[in-house]
């Protein structure tokens, strides 16, 4: 009988595992190579609050983006780090191995009995007292225990092209390339062309590549991003990360929220008697409001006419705000720059 079983060895599961102390823990991950390529790995400097990143994981530090809507362009400033996400996961796997037992198998079934939860793979059944679902967008744990979905599902696709990179991001709000946004991002020795959208992913992707003409495509990545956090605790366990939509509705970024949630969860599970409702409460306190604000902004943006969207791009780029990538709305409100936010929507 395990104290805790974690399903999913993405960033959420591996980081959570690496923080557990003096517990009998099993982590089960479906893919031996830690899953398909599915993330750009662009994060804020806040990543340094969680671990000391080996230099080999950092590809670039970037603090500027040129944003554009059709023919209109502007500049926004923020501090960001472009990570080699696969190397980050291998680094976290090494850390997790120090604390927990890891098996590479697919979990097919989960059921409960009087003593706890039973996790069933092709080879074996494992019994655990608590279950932690870090099993991504299509989470089995969520489907069985939560029965509620994150508010939205975005789809993302990107490719790498072997060409010289610039020192800034290019972000396009052009409706020809996405109903959300698309980007060209500088990486180490290559450039990334990508987009996220709610619908018609392949259509937008083809348009984008056709117009932007990456020189020499080496790799492609695809993934689903659930956003708009749903319930994330139940009587025998919790969800962390993508499985419950702990991502930012404005950008789809989820690494930092997953790390924050994993840290809150580990604090609770390292106690003798974890209070799982506390975990959910803390997550909501730290990033629940920001997620709600961002969903709201996204909704308003989607209803704006083309002309108003153009005006908005102009306003954002002229406002000279340095944006906190993880908590942009809270940051603006907290720093008494509400006027800026209000004007963004009243003037457009
Ligand atoms: C295209 C794209 C680009 C992105 N870019 C960024 C970005 O630039 N910055 C950022 O912050 N975030 C980005 N994200 C989001 C970010 O990758 C995630 O939010 C974050 O990594 C947290 O993921 P996770 O560990 O919760 O889930 P996942 O990474 O989805 O991992 C879930 C794991 O569970 C395993 N699993 C699932 N089911 C089972 C099962 N039944 N049995 C065993 N194992 C199972 C899977 O194999 C997988 O390894 C991007 C996402 C996508 C799709």
**345: Cα within 13 Å, side-chain hemisphere:** 12
Compute the Cα dihedral for 136, 138, 140, 142 and give only its sign. Answer: positive
Distances (CA, A) of 49 to 44, 52, 334: 10, 8, 21
Give residue limits of the domains in the chain.
1-41+84-151+228-302, 153-225, 303-346
Could you tell me if the CB of 250 is within 6 A of ligand 1? no
- Terminal-to-terminal C-alpha distance of the chain: 59
Could you tell me if the CB of 317 is within 6 A of ligand 1? no
Looking at the predicted structure, is the pLDDT value of residue 314 above 80? no
Looking at the predicted structure, is the pLDDT value of residue 107 above 80? yes
For residue 37, the model assigns a pLDDT of 64
Looking at the predicted structure, is the pLDDT value of residue 52 above 70? yes
* 8 Å CB contact between 134 and 142: no
Task: For residue range 109-140, list pLDDT tens digits in order.
Answer: 999 988 889 999 999 999 999 999 999 999 99
Q: In what order do the strands lie in the sheet with 152-161?
A: 42-44, 72-83, 58-69, 169-172, 181-187, 190-197, 152-161, 217-227
Give the C-alpha separation, 201 to 179, whole Å. 9
Could you tell me if the CB of 225 is within 6 A of ligand 1? yes
Report the b/e string of 21-60 with b at 16+ CB within 10 A.
eebebbbbbbeeebbebbbbbbbbbbbeebeebeeebbbe
Q: Helix crossing, 11-18 with 255-269: angle to 10°?
A: 30
pLDDT confidence band for 148 (50 / 70 / 90): very high
Report the predicted TM-score, pTM, of the whole model to 2 decimal places: 0.95
* 8 Å CB contact between 4 and 21: no
List of residues 6+ apart from 174 with CB closer than 8 A: 68, 69, 70, 182
Could you tell me if the CB of 198 is within 6 A of ligand 1? no
**CATH for 1-41+84-151+228-302, options being 3.30.1330.60, 3.20.20.70, 3.50.50.60, 3.40.640.10:** 3.50.50.60
**301: Cα within 13 Å, side-chain hemisphere:** 22
pLDDT confidence band for 347 (50 / 70 / 90): low
Task: For residue range 255-310, list pLDDT tens digits in order.
Answer: 999 999 999 999 999 998 999 999 999 999 999 999 999 999 899 888 888 888 88
| Ramachandran class of 213: left when φ > 0, alpha when ψ lies in -120 to 50, beta otherwise | left
Distances (CA, A) of 105 to 108, 129, 244: 9, 20, 22
| Ramachandran class of 309: left when φ > 0, alpha when ψ lies in -120 to 50, beta otherwise | alpha
% of the chain surpassing 70 pLDDT: 94
For residue 310, the model assigns a pLDDT of 81
For residue 71, the model assigns a pLDDT of 82
Ligand 1 center to 11 CA (angstroms): 7
pLDDT confidence band for 316 (50 / 70 / 90): confident
Which residue minimizes the CA distance to atom 12 of ligand 1? 253
Which residue minimizes the CA distance to atom 39 of ligand 1? 135
Give the C-alpha separation, 238 to 4, whole Å. 11
Looking at the predicted structure, is the pLDDT value of residue 346 above 70? no
Q: Is 156 exposed, middle or buried (0-12, 13-18, 19+ CB in 10 A)?
A: buried
Could you tell me if the CB of 182 is within 6 A of ligand 1? no
pLDDT confidence band for 147 (50 / 70 / 90): confident
For residue 234, the model assigns a pLDDT of 96
For residue 339, the model assigns a pLDDT of 64
Task: For residue range 164-221, list pLDDT tens digits in order.
Answer: 999 999 999 999 999 999 999 999 999 999 999 999 999 999 999 999 999 999 999 9
- Average pLDDT of the chain? 92
pLDDT confidence band for 77 (50 / 70 / 90): confident
Substitution candidate for ligand 1 out of 47, 135, 185 with most atoms within 8 A of CB: 135
The arithmetic mean of pLDDT across residues 137-163, rounded, is 96
pLDDT confidence band for 149 (50 / 70 / 90): very high
For residue 315, the model assigns a pLDDT of 76
């Amino acid at each position: 009988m395990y104290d805790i079983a974690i399903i999913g060895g993405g960033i959420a599961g591996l980081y959570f595992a690496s923080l557990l102390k003096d517990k009998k823990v099993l982590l089960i991950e479906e893919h031996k190579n830690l899953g398909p390529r599915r993330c750009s790995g662009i994060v804020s400097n806040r990543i340094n609050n969680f671990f000391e990143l080996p230099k080999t994981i950092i590809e670039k530090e970037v603090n500027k983006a040129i944003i554009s809507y059709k023919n209109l362009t502007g500049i926004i400033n923020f501090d960001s780090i472009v990570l080699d996400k696969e190397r980050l996961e291998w680094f976290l796997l090494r850390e997790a191995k120090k604390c927990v037992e890891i098996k590479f198998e697919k979990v097919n079934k989960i059921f409960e009995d009087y003593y706890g939860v039973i996790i069933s793979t092709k080879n074996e059944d494992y019994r655990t007292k608590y279950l932690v679902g870090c099993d991504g967008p299509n989470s089995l744990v969520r489907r069985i225990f939560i029965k509620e979905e994150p508010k939205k599902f975005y789809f993302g696709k990107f490719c790498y092209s072997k060409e010289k990179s610039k020192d800034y991001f290019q972000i396009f709000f052009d409706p020809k390339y996405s109903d959300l946004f698309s980007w060209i991002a500088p990486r180490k020795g290559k450039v990334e062309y990508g987009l996220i959208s709610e619908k018609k992913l392949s259509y937008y992707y083809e348009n984008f590549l056709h117009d932007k003409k990456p020189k020499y495509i080496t790799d492609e990545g695809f993934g689903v991003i659930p956003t708009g956090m749903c319930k994330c605790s139940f009587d025998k366990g919790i969800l962390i990360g993508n499985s419950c939509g702990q991502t930012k509705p404005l950008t789809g970024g989820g690494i930092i929220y997953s790390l924050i949630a994993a840290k809150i969860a580990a604090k609770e599970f390292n106690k003798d008697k974890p209070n799982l409702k506390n975990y959910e409460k803390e997550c909501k306190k730290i990033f629940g409001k920001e997620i709600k604000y961002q969903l709201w902004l996204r909704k308003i943006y989607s209803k704006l006419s083309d002309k108003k969207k153009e005006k908005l791009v102009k306003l954002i780029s002229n406002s000279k705000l340095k944006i906190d990538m993880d908590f942009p709305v809270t940051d603006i409100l907290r720093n008494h720059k509400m006027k800026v936010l209000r004007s963004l929507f009243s003037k457009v």
